[in-house]
């Protein structure tokens, strides 16, 4: 038995990568990274249950920490195990388990193995019942448990398990319960495992047949040898074993025997409310320790901690294996749990399993609040669920909500109020009885809708039965342009298109949502009508537009309805242009050329046999183009057509499209091929595709299980149809965003002129005349300026000929320059961001910005922040932008200058991102790419021009 259990652990270690199983060892010191920035927010999701999210940007990357705190002394909180309602072996996602069990929160649980059947490695107990057994104490992994008095602890379990025949008095030791660790071990499977036993699938020549003893109501009902899997009885269990240990089972038990189970654990099973296994004790009396499994490196982690007074549980996850969230070592995770208040802690399964989901009482479906490292939740064998059984109480507090706290003058914002009792249960609110007031803003409120009249900051306050709640609202400056969800779309007659969220921009690039009803909508061309944000085609065809107006600001969406004449795509004249697939393997068929054709010499015959197999059956014809799968269409077709001669069997004729984003779409040519005559069939291309698109498959499919048949069809003449051309001339002139700082200004006597120019890389082989032309270009552009900022390594020859009061060469690893009313920050993002290049830059940058008395800030980087070639970590990019935007809110002008393939300026929430062309200069013709930026600074005022 010891050898078998040792084999379990050894197999487990082989499955996981970078695991070391170590003797208990205290960790003397943990190297914690420097914290650059952090945020946290929390909310109660049940009585005595608080959810927290903590984000820390450190010198090593982002930490995304999600925490659920559970007050164990709260009479309404409860901790229970989670596992699939189909049994442990079935596995399920954490969010599904939380939703189905009506928990308010949950995380993944124990480490588990996939082979031969998924099962937890350690203990799993609920209300004194062993769901999955501990393994022998000598090889045990640690377990977290709650006793019947809600006292938590982390320890190592031992167990004694056997089945006794009351007829003979003989017994057999049970090795494991509801695990599939070793089929040669005596295993008990009950309803918690799943619906079926192991069965004959695990017979083998070396160990012989699987023996399975079925027990119902404590009586042996059947002993099966080498037979297929049996249903596990609801009020019983199955004892399974093969190999040498099966002999004792066969000798000591007979059909009809009365039996009893003798199961005990240490700690005492009868006193255990809940227990779940983990990988390692990582905190012991406040000290960091590794007792067992330590998955090395920075990883996603899940753990559970206990406070020193044992009154609170701290359940936490931290994300990893992500471009932003880097994960942590087990030792650092232990330190994080200690910072959160844990005194003792256990690591749970991590990596791709790490998941936390919450479902406050007023939500129907659980929400995953962390970012699983595999892009989606992994199905796991078990988890920890947090529950509340609090009664409905009295209304205690209210919260006010809106969909965007920014808005524009002469637009509206709607508000709703939610109520909660003292246990944080939802409390129904009579929305018509809520009274709203506005403070600090010019506007009016009618019922739950506020209409703003002028820019400013203020608050909307809701009053309900003596309770109040407020939300801050910012009315932006005057609307300058609209940001529409689409610029154009094509429809078929009688089709419809939903116009999703519309935003606007003010003069500083601040954005806010605009409700559809706040705008005037005009349909240009007799093509349809707009209703509640949905355009409905009326059946006419042609080109038109939707024109949207708010005040003097206009935005347009171009429309076409219908299709022009079809364009031939495939004539089905060569068999080499196709191959085929079947689903499932029971389907057979073939493709060939047929002499009967609608157009040309041949058509494609599809012969198929759906007479075998169950469920959906399909025969796929794959289109090949240049040796690659799929025929890619030119332009933007909105419809395809085929000629088809059916066989009258009623199969479904479909196609599969793949768009530019790799998303697949199934399209329908004909739902039932009931005709045996040639007919032209059409399939509409979904309006949401991203062009270009390719047709990968044409196929026949049968989805109704009872329909069994074989047949053959002919297809010919695939054509693509294109919408009419869009007509921009019929729409009114659209409002374009104009940067008010982009203007020619006169420098006052006390003012400052600043010119930013770029010195291209000058290679040795570059013609000397071109080199001198480059120098002359820069010298000419900077002539008369007070300050020249030259990006690149300028030599003395160039610097000595620039007639500016001061010259600063940009391109140092990091340095701050101050000149008059200007702060210049020369930073490096060459490794994909400030942090990966040198995290200390963040400290220097924050210090420079927070302590400056200058009105204008220019930040130089050697990459963009956003987009292609920008920061690798999007959260670092957003953090930098938000910090710079806050500077703008404090009255400073902020400019970010970086290289790119063109020169352009983008204004985003007060920050101007200026991309300066950095194309190589190989001849005098390329000098046109040498743009310069000229700033005129007059005190607090600043303007720019690009030359």
Domain 752-946 bears CATH identifier 3.40.50.1820: no
Angle formed at CA 370 by CA 365 and CA 372, multiple of 5 degrees:
100
Q: What is the pLDDT of residue 2?
A: 36
Torsion over CA: 897, 902, 905, 911 (sign): negative
pLDDT tens figures, 424-483: 999 999 999 999 999 999 999 999 999 999 999 999 999 999 999 999 999 999 999 999
Three-state SS at 328 = strand
Cα 58 to Cα 37: distance, rounded to the nearest angstrom = 7
Question: What pTM was computed for the model?
Answer: 0.87
Cα–Cα distance measured from residue 409 to residue 456, given in angstroms and rounded to the nearest whole number: 9
Cis peptide bond prior to 636, omega within 30° of 0: no
Choose among 910, 526, 507, 920: nearest CA to 740: 507
CATH, range 395-475? 2.60.40.10
Residue of 892, 908, 860, 852 lying closest to 756 (CA atoms): 860
Q: Model confidence at 24, in pLDDT bands (50, 70, 90)?
A: low
Q: pLDDT confidence of 7, banded at 50, 70, 90?
A: very low
Question: HEC profile for 520-544?
Answer: EEEEECCCEEEECCEEEECCCCEEE
Which residues does 521 contact at the CB level (< 8 Å), separation at least 6? 530, 546, 547, 548
8: pLDDT strictly greater than 50: no
- Is a pLDDT exceeding 70 seen at residue 667? yes
Q: How many helices (H) and strands (E) in the chain?
A: 9, 75
Give the separation between CA 47 and CA 67, rounded to whole angstroms.
16
Q: Can you tell me the distance from the alpha carbon of 697 to that of 679, in angstroms, rounded to the nearest whole number?
A: 20
Residue 564 has a pLDDT of 87
Instruction: Give the number of other CB atoms < 10 A from CB of residue 2.
Output: 9
Strand runs labelled E in 673-814 = 678-684, 694-702, 710-721, 752-758, 787-791, 806-810
Q: Using CA atoms, how far apart are residues 744 and 947, in angstroms rounded to an integer?
A: 11
Note whether 159-266 and 567-721 share their fold.
Answer: yes
Select the more confidently predicted residue: 759 or 289. 289
Contact 911, 881 (CB under 8 A): yes
| CATH number, span 481-561 | 2.60.40
CB atoms < 10 A from the CB of 676, how many? 12
H-assigned helices in 385-534: none
Question: Pseudo-torsion of CA 523, 527, 530, 536, nearest 10°?
Answer: -160
| pLDDT digit string, tens, across residues 605-650 | 999 999 998 899 999 999 999 889 999 999 999 999 999 999 999 9
Instruction: Count other C-beta atoms under 10 Å from residue 37's C-beta.
Output: 15
- Under 8 Å between Cβ of 610 and 708: yes
Whether 272 shows a pLDDT value over 60: the answer reads yes
Angle between helices 840-851 and 874-889 (to 10 degrees): 10
- CA gap 912, 897 in Å, rounded: 8
Is pLDDT at 299 greater than 60 in this prediction? yes
What pairs with residue 530 in β-bridges?
A: 535
If pLDDT is split at 50, 70 and 90, which confidence band does 23 have? low
pLDDT at residue 561, as a whole number: 95
CA distance 514 to 512: 6
Whether pLDDT at 876 is above 50:
yes
Give me the residue spans of the domains in the chain. 2-24+71-157+274-388, 159-266, 395-475, 481-561, 567-721, 752-946
The CATH homologous superfamily of the domain defined by 567-721: Galactose-binding domain-like (2.60.120.260)
Whether residue 81 is predicted with pLDDT greater than 50 in this model: the reply is yes
Give alpha helix (H) positions in 83-132.
94-101
Q: What SS3 class is residue 291?
A: coil
The pLDDT of 342-348, averaged and rounded, is 98
Helix/strand/coil for 245: helix
- Mean pLDDT of the chain, nearest integer: 94
Using CA atoms, how far residue 186 sits from 8, 214, 381, in Å, is 14, 13, 21
pLDDT at 22: 45
Is residue 159 within 8 Å of residue 266, measured between CB atoms? Answer: yes
Residues 864-892, mean pLDDT to the nearest whole number? 97
The strand ranges marked E within 127-178 are: 129-132, 143-147, 152-155, 158-165, 171-173, 176-177
What average pLDDT score do residues 852-863 get?
97
Residue 648 CA neighbour count, 13 Å, CB half: 2
Among candidates 1, 141, 36, which has minimal Cα distance to 850? 36
Between 444-458, 821-835, 896-910, 920-934, the lowest mean confidence (pLDDT) is in: 920-934
Percent of the chain exceeding pLDDT 70 equals 97
CB 468 within 8 A of CB 462: yes
Q: Which backbone phi and psi does 884 adopt, to 5 degrees?
A: -70, -40
**Phi, psi of 834, deg, nearest 5:** -70, -45
Summarize pLDDT for 215-236 with one digit per residue, the tens: 999 999 999 999 999 999 999 9
User: What pLDDT, on the 0 to 100 scale, is given for residue 64?
Assistant: 98
727-742 average pLDDT score: 95
751-770 residue pLDDT tens: 999 999 998 887 777 888 88
What does the pLDDT read at residue 3?
Answer: 35
In sequence order, what are the residues at sequence separation of 6 or more whose Cβ sits closer than 8 angstroms to the Cβ of residue 169?
Answer: none
Return the minimum-mean-pLDDT range out of 332-336, 360-364, 527-531, 932-936: 360-364
Average pLDDT over every residue of 878-907? 97
Q: What is the CATH number of domain 159-266?
A: 2.60.120
Nearest to 377 by CA among 175, 95, 627: 95
Three-class secondary structure assignment of 329-387: CHHHHHHHHHHCCCCEEEEECCHHHCCEEECCCCCCCCEECCCCCCCCCCCECCEEEEE
| Contact assessment for residue 40 and residue 53, using Cβ atoms and an 8 Å cutoff | yes
CA atoms within 13 A on the CB side of 42: 12
Q: Report the distance separating Cα 707 and Cα 175, nearest Å.
A: 48
* pLDDT of residue 707 exceeding 90: yes
Confidence of residue 9 (pLDDT cuts 50, 70, 90): very low
CB burial string 452-469: b at 16+ within 10 A, e below: beebeebebbbebeeeeb
Does pLDDT of 142 surpass 90? yes
Question: For residue range 562-575, what is the model confidence (pLDDT) as tens digits?
Answer: 998 889 999 999 99
From residue 247, alpha-carbon distances to 171, 210, 219, 256, 567 in Å are: 12, 11, 20, 18, 75
Q: What's the whole-number mean pLDDT along residues 909-916?
A: 97
Other CB atoms closer than 10 Å to residue 257's CB: what's the count? Answer: 20
Say what the pLDDT of residue 11 is.
43
CA atoms within 13 A on the CB side of 136: 15
Residue 905 near residue 918 (C-beta atoms within 8 A): no
Higher pLDDT, 795 or 692: 692
Instruction: Note the pLDDT tens digit of each residue in 148-204.
Output: 999 999 999 999 999 999 999 999 999 999 999 899 999 999 999 999 999 999 999
> 689 pLDDT exceeds 70?
yes
How far, in Å, CA of 928 to CA of 755, rounded? 17
Residue burial 847-874, b: 16+ Cβ < 10 Å; e: rest: ebbeebebbbbbbbbbbbbeeeebbbbe
Output the pLDDT for position 420.
97
pLDDT at 20: 41
The pLDDT of residue 597 is above 90: yes
């Amino acid at each position: 038995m010891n050898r078998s259990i040792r084999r379990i652990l050894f197999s487990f270690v082989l499955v996981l990568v970078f695991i070391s199983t170590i003797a208990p060892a205290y960790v003397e010191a943990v190297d914690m990274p420097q914290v650059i920035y952090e945020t946290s927010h929390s909310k109660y999701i049940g009585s005595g249950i608080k959810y927290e999210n903590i984000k820390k940007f450190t010198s090593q990357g982002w930490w995304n920490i999600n925490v659920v705190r559970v007050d164990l002394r709260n009479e309404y909180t409860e901790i229970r195990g989670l596992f699939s309602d189909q049994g442990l072996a079935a596995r399920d996602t954490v969010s599904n388990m939380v939703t189905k069990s009506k928990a308010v929160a949950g995380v993944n649980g124990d480490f588990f193995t996939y082979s031969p059947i998924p099962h937890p490695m350690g203990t799993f107990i609920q209300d004194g019942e062993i769901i999955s057994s501990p393994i022998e104490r000598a090889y045990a992994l640690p377990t977290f448990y709650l006793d019947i008095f809600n006292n938590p602890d982390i320890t190592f379990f031992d167990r004694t398990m056997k089945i006794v025949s009351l007829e003979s008095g003989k017994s057999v030791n049970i090795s494991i319960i509801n695990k599939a660790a070793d089929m040669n071990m005596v295993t008990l499977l009950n309803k918690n495992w799943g619906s079926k036993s192991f069965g004959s699938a695990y017979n083998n020549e070396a160990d012989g047949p699987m023996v399975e003893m079925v027990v119902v109501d404590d009586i042996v009902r059947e002993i099966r040898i080498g037979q297929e899997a049996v249903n596990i009885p609801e009020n019983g269990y199955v004892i399974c074993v093969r190999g040498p240990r099966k002999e004792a089972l066969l000798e000591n038990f007979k059909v009809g025997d009365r039996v009893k189970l003798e199961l005990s654990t240490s700690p005492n099973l009868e006193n255990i409310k809940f227990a779940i296994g983990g990988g390692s004790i990582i905190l012991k009396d406040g000290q960091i320790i590794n007792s067992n499994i330590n998955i090395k490196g920075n990883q996603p982690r899940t753990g559970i901690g206990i406070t020193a007074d044992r009154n609170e549980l701290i359940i936490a996850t931290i994300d990893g294996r992500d471009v932003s969230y880097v994960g942590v070592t087990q030792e650092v995770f232990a330190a994080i749990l200690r910072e959160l208040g844990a005194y003792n802690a256990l690591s749970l399964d991590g990596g791709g399993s790490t998941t936390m989901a919450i479902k406050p009482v007023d939500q129907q479906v659980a929400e995953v609040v962390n970012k699983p490292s595999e892009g989606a939740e992994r199905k796991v064998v078990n988890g920890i669920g947090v529950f509340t059984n609090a009664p409905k109480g009295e209304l205690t507090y209210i919260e006010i909500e809106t969909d965007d706290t920014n808005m524009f003058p002469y637009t509206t914002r709607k508000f709703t109020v939610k109520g909660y009792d003292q246990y944080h249960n939802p409390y129904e609110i009579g929305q018509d009885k809520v009274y709203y007031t506005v403070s600090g803003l010019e506007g009016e409120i009618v019922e739950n809708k506020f209409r703003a009249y002028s820019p400013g900051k203020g608050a909307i306050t809701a009053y309900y039965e003596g309770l109040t709640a407020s939300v801050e609202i910012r009315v932006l400056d005057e609307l300058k342009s609209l940001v529409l969800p689409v610029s154009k779309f094509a429809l078929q007659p009688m089709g419809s298109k939903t116009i999703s969220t519309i935003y606007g921009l003010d003069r500083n690039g601040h954005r806010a949502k605009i409700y559809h009803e706040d705008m005037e909508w005009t349909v240009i061309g007799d093509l349809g009508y707009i209703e509640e944000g949905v355009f409905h085609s009326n059946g006419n065809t042609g080109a038109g537009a939707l024109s949207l107006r708010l005040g003097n600001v206009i935005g347009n969406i171009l429309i076409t309805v219908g299709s022009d004449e079809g364009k031939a795509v495939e004539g089905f004249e060569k068999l080499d242009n196709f191959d085929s697939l079947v689903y499932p393997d029971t389907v057979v068929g073939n493709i060939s050329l047929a002499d009967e054709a609608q157009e040309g010499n041949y058509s494609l015959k599809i012969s198929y046999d759906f007479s075998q197999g169950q469920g959906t059956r399909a025969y796929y014809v794959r289109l090949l183009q240049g040796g690659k799968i799929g025929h890619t269409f030119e332009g933007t077709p909105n419809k395809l057509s085929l000629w088809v001669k059916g066989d009258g069997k009623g199969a479904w004729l479909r196609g599969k499209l793949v768009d530019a984003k790799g998303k697949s779409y199934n399209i329908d040519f004909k739902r039932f091929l009931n005709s045996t005559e040639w007919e032209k069939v059409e399939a509409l291309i979904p309006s949401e595709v991203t062009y270009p698109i390719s047709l990968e498959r044409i196929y026949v499919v049968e989805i109704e299980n009872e329909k069994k048949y074989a047949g053959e069809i002919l297809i010919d003449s695939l054509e693509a149809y294109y919408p009419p051309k869009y007509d921009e001339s019929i729409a009114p002139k659209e409002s374009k965003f104009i940067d008010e700082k982009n203007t020619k200004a006169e420098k006052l006597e006390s003012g400052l002129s600043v010119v930013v120019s770029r010195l291209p890389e000058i290679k040795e082989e570059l013609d000397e005349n071109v080199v001198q032309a480059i120098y002359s270009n820069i010298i000419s552009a900077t002539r008369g300026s007070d300050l020249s900022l030259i990006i690149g390594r300028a030599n003395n020859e160039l610097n000595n000929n620039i007639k500016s009061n001061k010259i600063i060469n940009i391109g140092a690893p990091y340095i701050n320059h101050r000149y008059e009313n200007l702060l210049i920050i020369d930073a490096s993002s060459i490794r994909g961001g400030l942090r990966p290049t040198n995290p200390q830059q963040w400290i220097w940058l924050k210090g420079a910005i927070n302590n400056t008395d200058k009105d204008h800030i220019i930040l130089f980087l050697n990459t963009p922040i956003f987009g292609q070639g920008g920061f690798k970590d999007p959260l670092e990019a957003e953090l930098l932008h938000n910090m710079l935007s806050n500077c703008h809110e404090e009255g400073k002008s902020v400019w970010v200058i970086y290289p790119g393939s063109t020169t352009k300026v983008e204004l985003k929430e007060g920050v101007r991102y200026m991309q300066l062309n950095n194309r190589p200069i190989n001849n005098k013709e390329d000098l046109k790419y040498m743009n310069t930026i000229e700033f005129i600074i007059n005190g607090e005022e600043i303007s720019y021009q690009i030359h």
